[in-house]
């Protein structure tokens, strides 16, 4: 039998483990609501942390850009795809993050998967946090460098691995905000280790740029390693499809390192440039992020995070505690509620869905086995009443589980 006939069985195996993923076609509504198959759902799914994806100022920027530049970029940035809009965005991004130079990419995945192999190769050494995003892991694999994985956030272990490595070129790669846990890397500690071992640090701040640091300038700025304090051994990468509300990514850092990436990154050279209309949307988003409106939205988001944590943190609700659900320690907009079992996580997601609330269940292999979770993502587009509704429905679901357990125990007795 041809192996091509095995895919149905392999899909059935995914079903058996509750691991088959399904998409939903959505239409955005007011605030953080999404329309799914005619049903209006209050969504806690989006990485649009500042609510910019639907913002009128960004829409206007896109309309004007379409009139001026048309739709597509037509070619790689190395040929004729590098619009004056893209060039202006690169200067503004570098200025925003306080680093000498930035390079603008059409997507974050392609950036990391491709800049890592441009920096290190066979015979070099890579040091990677165990919870890094898939695109950093794929970049590490593509590079053919020797990969040393260290336990999440364990800098003592990283120090030991760096000490033991005979490689001359060492690259440490880490998410700045971990995408499924919401915690922030110890950037100062990572940087100090890189100094001690003559290593380069690549930080992926997909979830921090726009929300963390002064004026939302990101996690590296929050750590004081930008501007006058910019380090020659840090490359900063961030995406533009999350807090910036659009799509794309950039990498920023020392002039010669960024110039090297421009020369050697295959996903940059061999891909059609991001259209100017997206660059103009990001420029409008960036003006908002750095201005008073950005500050107002970050403050609103911080208040929502606090409200959710007060409602669900350990000790806040007996039924949630009894269910064994734990809200992970996170100060960011990513607030994961660990349920544990894959099917249990899907069941809680379904219960919320019946109440008109959409929170995605995240299962392995995206997260470690046994830590299936609801990844609650908050946004400045949410209202306080939205968070109250979510907390209320989750508490009721946990209480329902408790009654179920009491009934089952009574039956057994």
Ligand X SMILES: *Cc1c(COP(=O)(O)O)cnc(C)c1O
Residues annotated as catalytic (active site), given as ranges: 179, 207, 242
40 labelled binding-site residue = no
Q: How far is the CB of 357 from ligand X (least distance, A)?
A: 23
Buried b (16+ CB within 10 A) or exposed e, 245-280: bbbbbbbbbbeebbeebbeebebbeebebbbbbbbb
Q: Which of 55, 92, 175, 280 binds ligand X (CB under 6 A)?
A: 175
Please check if 174 is assigned to a binding site: no
Nearer residue to ligand X within complex by CB, 173 or 348: 173
- Shortest Cβ 270–ligand X spacing (Å): 17
Q: How far is residue 217 CA from its own chain's centroid?
A: 16
Q: In what order do the strands lie in the sheet with 170-175?
A: 101-105, 249-253, 234-239, 199-204, 170-175, 125-129, 146-150
Stretch of 87-95, 204-212, 215-223, 273-281 lying at the interface with ligand X (CB under 6 A): 204-212
Q: 139 labelled as ligand-binding?
A: no
Whose tokens are 């660990």? That residue is 338
Residue 152 assigned as binding residue: no
Known binding residue 366? Answer is yes
Residue nearest to ligand X (CB): 108
Q: Is 245 in the site for ligand X (CB under 6 A)?
A: no
Give the integer Cα–Cα distance in Å for 96 and 109.
22
Of the candidate spans 65-73, 201-209, 294-302, 324-332, the one that interacts with ligand X by CB under 6 A turns out to be 201-209
| Phi and psi angles of residue 366, each rounded to the nearest 5 degrees, phi first | -65, -35
Closer residue to ligand X in complex, CB, 112/335: 112
In terms of CB distance, is 225 or 238 closer to ligand X?
238
Residue tagged 């107002």 (tokens): 296
Torsion, Cα of 291, 96, 208, 206 (10° steps) = 120
Shortest Cβ 219–ligand X spacing (Å): 11
CA distance 19 to 178: 22
Residue 179 engages ligand X in binding (rule: CB under 6 A):
yes
Decide: is 241 part of the binding site for ligand X (CB under 6 A).
yes
Phi and psi, residue 384, nearest 5°: -55, -35
DSSP label at 80? Answer: T
204: contact with ligand X by CB under 6 A: yes
CA angle in degrees (0–180, nearest 5) for 292-48-381: 65
The single residue among 206, 221, 235, 312 that binds ligand X, judged by CB under 6 A, is: 206
Do the annotations mark residue 98 as ligand-binding? no
Q: How far is the CB of 143 from ligand X (least distance, A)?
A: 17
Residue 133 annotated as lining a ligand binding site: yes
Please tell me whether residue 231 binds ligand X under the rule CB under 6 A: no
How many residues lie near ligand X (CB under 6 A)? 14
Q: What is the 3-state secondary structure (H, E, C) of 131-173?
A: CCCHHHHHHHHHHCCEEEEECCCCHHHHHHHHHHCCCCCEEEE
Contact set for ligand X, span 72-131 (CB under 6 A): 107-109, 112
DSSP SS3 for 263: helix
**By the criterion CB under 6 A, which residues form the site for ligand X?**
107-109, 112, 133, 135, 175, 179, 204, 206-207, 239, 241, 249
**Residues in binding site for substrate:** 21, 133, 366
């Amino acid at each position: 039998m041809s192996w091509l006939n095995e895919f149905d069985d392999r899909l059935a195996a995914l079903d058996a483990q509750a691991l088959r993923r399904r998409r939903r076609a959505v239409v955005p509504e007011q605030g953080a609501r999404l329309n799914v198959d005619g049903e209006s759902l209050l969504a806690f799914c989006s990485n649009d942390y500042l609510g910019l994806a639907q913002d009128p100022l960004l829409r206007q920027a896109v309309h004007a850009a379409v009139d001026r530049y048309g739709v597509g970029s037509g070619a790689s940035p190395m040929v004729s795809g590098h619009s004056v809009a893209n060039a202006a965005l690169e200067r503004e991004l570098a200025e925003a993050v306080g680093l000498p130079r930035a390079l603008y990419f059409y997507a974050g995945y392609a950036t990391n998967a491709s800049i890592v192999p441009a920096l290190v190769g066979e015979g070099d050494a890579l040091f990677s946090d165990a919870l890094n995003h898939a695109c950093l892991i794929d970049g590490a694999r593509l590079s053919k460098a020797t990969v040393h994985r260290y336990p999440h956030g364990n800098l003592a272990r990283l120090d030991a691995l760096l000490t033991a490595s005979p490689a001359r070129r060492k690259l440490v790669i880490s998410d700045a905000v971990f995408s499924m846990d919401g915690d922030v890397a110890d950037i100062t500690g990572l940087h100090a280790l890189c100094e001690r071992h003559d290593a380069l640090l690549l930080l992926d701040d997909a979830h921090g740029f726009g929300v963390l640091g002064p004026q939302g300038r990101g996690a590296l700025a929050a750590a004081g390693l930008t501007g006058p304090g910019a380090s020659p051994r840090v490359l900063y990468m961030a995406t533009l499809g999350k807090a910036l509300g659009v799509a794309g990514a950039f990498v920023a850092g020392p002039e010669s390192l960024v110039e090297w990436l421009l020369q050697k990154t295959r996903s940059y050279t061999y891909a059609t440039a991001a259209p100017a209309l997206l660059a103009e949307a990001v420029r409008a988003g960036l003006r908002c992020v750095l201005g008073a409106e950005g500050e107002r939205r970050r403050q609103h988001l911080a208040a929502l995070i606090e409200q959710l944590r007060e409602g669900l943190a350990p000790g806040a609700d007996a039924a949630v505690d009894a269910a064994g659900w734990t809200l992970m320690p996170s100060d960011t907009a990513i607030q994961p509620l660990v349920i544990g079992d894959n099917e249990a996580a899907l069941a809680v997601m379904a219960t919320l869905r019946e109440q008109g609330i959409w929170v995605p269940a995240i299962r392995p292999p995206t997260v470690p086995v046994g830590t299936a979770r609801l990844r609650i993502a908050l946004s400045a587009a949410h209202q306080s009443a939205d968070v109250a509704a979510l907390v209320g429905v989750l508490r009721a679901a946990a209480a329902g589980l408790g009654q179920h357990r009491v009934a089952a125990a009574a039956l057994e007795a």
